[in-house]
Amino acid sequence: MHQIEPHYLWRHLYKASSDKRSPFYRTEHSQFEYTNKIYNYAIHPQWDSFGSETLLLKVLYTDYEQGYVIIELIGEWNDTIGNDIAVLKRELIDDMLDYGIEKFILLGENVLNFHPSDDSYYQEWWEDTPGGWVAFLHFQDHVLNEMEAAGIHNYICLEEEDDTTWAWKTKKPEQLFHAVDELVGRRFLSEV
């Protein structure tokens, strides 16, 4: 796992460590010193810790004018023991909401497991974004199945593989955002 880096092709467009509104402002990363761990596995030093013992993230892009953020995750999402959703909500999401971010894209291809608890923090997140949405993309099928079984899909858009979203690494951030915004919009229209 120490070789899995966060997506880096957008670093010339945005760096959370240079963003004064980011909780990761002035965070310094080593290319050589591996200080982050998930269980006994060293994790690439470019990932950021937000307080979870089993899940790390990287804020890849934030657009305050359009009110969206793209976040990549790695590790194990554990709401049962660590209440990762509560930690994520309190340590990162609430700050972003204060700055007008209401559309959240979370990329989870490197999330290996999900352990559910209740859905109250997902519901709170949904209620806190009345003009927006939360979309989980590119998660492993078994993780999406666990999330759906826990009822999270009632508050979070869980998207399976799709040509418009899955080639996300070859897109610019705004292209990914517009594709997801359209996808989520179609989903909401079909539910009405």
Q: What is the mean pLDDT of residues 123-143?
A: 94
Q: What is the mean pLDDT of residues 35-48?
A: 86
Q: What is the mean pLDDT of residues 118-140?
A: 94
What's the chain's average pLDDT?
Answer: 90
Residue 184 confidence (pLDDT): 87
User: pTM for this structure?
Assistant: 0.93
Q: How many CB atoms lie within 10 A of CB 85?
A: 25
CATH code matching the domain that covers 16-191, chosen among 2.60.120.640, 3.40.50.1360, 3.40.190.10, 3.30.750.24:
3.30.750.24
pLDDT digits (tens, 9 = 90+) for 57-92: 999 999 999 999 999 999 999 999 999 999 999 999
Residue 1 confidence (pLDDT): 62
